């Protein structure tokens, strides 16, 4: 997956680690705190202190200091995100993730939510694939953070013996976020922030693809 595609799955993970969704059991990660949820290659953070970060700020909208939180540490889920209200219900402390507009009450929001870079270029990933698909676009809203299931239309370029060959469209990409995280084989070195969520390119060892 190119980085502009992989970050779409990260948006679903951001909702899955939202403390309010976790408290309501409306997250596929609700019972997974301090458990293995991915390969060791995955390191996921939420950080309000990144210099010139798009969502950086010294404190959240309840006045709680922001900081760097490790959400997934070498594959282990280590934290959820909370504002003061939800943290009190969950008998924990705020993570500095309260967000609000001018006319509403605080809710949990992400700051700079990102997966850490790996050491492999996208070109190196492609060279190492005997037969596979470089996913360049996804269509639809078929990612469910409550169940962890996803099913989306995809487009891309077919890979044979490490070479890009011909375009592929009108295929369906399906699976679960658990499976996707468990089958990350390589993490790219191309992390780019285009918004509050960012993810490098990912090489997934196996996924279900259907279509003509």
Report the pLDDT averaged over residues 156-176.
Answer: 93
Burial zone of 138 (CB within 10 Å; 0-12 exposed, 13-18 middle, 19+ buried): buried
Q: Please indicate, yes or no, whether residues 154 and 84 belong to a single structural domain of this protein.
A: no
| Interatomic CA distance for residues 134 and 126, integer angstroms | 8
Beta strand 197-198 with 112-115 is: parallel
Helix (H, G, I), strand (E, B) or coil at 15: helix
Which of 61, 96, 115 is the C-terminal boundary of a domain? 115
Statement: residue 212 has pLDDT above 60: no
Q: Please indicate, yes or no, whether residues 111 and 150 belong to a single structural domain of this protein.
A: no
Say how many domains are in the chain.
2
Tell me if 196 sits within 8 A of 54, measured CB to CB: yes
Backbone angles phi and psi of 163, in degrees to 5: -120, 140
Q: Please indicate, yes or no, whether residues 150 and 89 belong to a single structural domain of this protein.
A: no
Q: Please indicate, yes or no, whether residues 110 and 134 belong to a single structural domain of this protein.
A: no
Q: Please indicate, yes or no, whether residues 109 and 152 belong to a single structural domain of this protein.
A: no
In the chain, what percentage of residues exceed pLDDT 90?
83
Which of 61, 94, 115 is the C-terminal boundary of a domain? 115
Report the pLDDT averaged over residues 28-40.
Answer: 96
Which helix (DSSP H) or strand (DSSP E) does residue 212 occupy? none
Q: Encode burial over 31-48: b for 16+ CB neighbours within 10 A, e otherwise.
A: ebeeeebbbebbbbbbbb
In which domain, by residue range, is 131 found? 122-211
Which helix (DSSP H) or strand (DSSP E) does residue 17 occupy? none
Q: Please indicate, yes or no, whether residues 81 and 172 belong to a single structural domain of this protein.
A: no
Per-residue pLDDT reduced to its tens digit, 58-116: 999 999 999 999 999 999 999 999 999 999 999 999 999 999 887 788 899 999 999 99
pLDDT at site 199: 96
Statement: residue 140 has pLDDT above 90: no
Beta strand 197-198 with 131-139 is: unpaired
| Interatomic CA distance for residues 2 and 155, integer angstroms | 12
14, 116, 123, 205 from 7: Cα distances, Å: 10, 12, 18, 18
Q: Please indicate, yes or no, whether residues 14 and 107 belong to a single structural domain of this protein.
A: yes
pLDDT at site 105: 86
Other CB atoms within 10 Å distance of the CB of residue 205? 12
| Interatomic CA distance for residues 93 and 95, integer angstroms | 6
Q: Please indicate, yes or no, whether residues 143 and 179 belong to a single structural domain of this protein.
A: yes
pLDDT classification of 52: cutoffs 50, 70, 90: confident
Q: Please indicate, yes or no, whether residues 68 and 94 belong to a single structural domain of this protein.
A: yes
Q: Please indicate, yes or no, whether residues 159 and 201 belong to a single structural domain of this protein.
A: yes
Report the pLDDT averaged over residues 45-63.
Answer: 94
Q: Please indicate, yes or no, whether residues 205 and 159 belong to a single structural domain of this protein.
A: yes
Does the CA dihedral 95-96-100-104 come out positive or negative?
A: positive
Other CB atoms within 10 Å distance of the CB of residue 123? 11
Which of 68, 83, 115 is the C-terminal boundary of a domain? 115
Q: Please indicate, yes or no, whether residues 14 and 32 belong to a single structural domain of this protein.
A: yes
204 Cβ contact list (under 8 Å, min separation 6): 1, 180, 183, 184, 185
């Amino acid at each position: 997956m190119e980085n502009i595609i992989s970050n779409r799955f990260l948006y679903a993970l951001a909702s899955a680690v939202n403390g309010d969704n976790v408290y309501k059991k409306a997250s596929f990660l609700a019972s997974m705190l301090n458990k293995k949820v991915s390969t060791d290659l995955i390191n996921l953070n939420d950080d309000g202190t990144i210099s010139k970060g798009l969502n950086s700020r010294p404190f959240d909208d309840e006045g709680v200091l922001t900081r760097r939180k490790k959400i997934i540490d070498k594959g282990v889920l280590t934290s959820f995100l909370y504002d003061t209200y939800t943290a009190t219900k969950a008998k924990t402390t705020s993570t500095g993730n309260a967000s609000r507009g001018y006319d509403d009450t605080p809710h949990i929001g992400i700051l700079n939510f990102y997966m850490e870079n790996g050491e492999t270029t996208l070109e190196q990933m492609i060279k190492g694939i005997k037969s596979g698909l470089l996913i360049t676009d996804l269509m639809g809203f078929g990612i469910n953070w409550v169940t962890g299931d996803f099913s989306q239309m995809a487009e891309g370029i077919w890979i044979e013996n490490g070479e890009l060959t011909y375009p592929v469209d009108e295929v369906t990409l399906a699976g679960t976020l658990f499976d996707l995280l468990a089958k990350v084989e390589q993490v790219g070195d191309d992390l780019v922030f285009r918004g509050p969520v960012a993810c490098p390119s990912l090489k997934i060892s196996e996924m279900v693809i259907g279509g003509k």
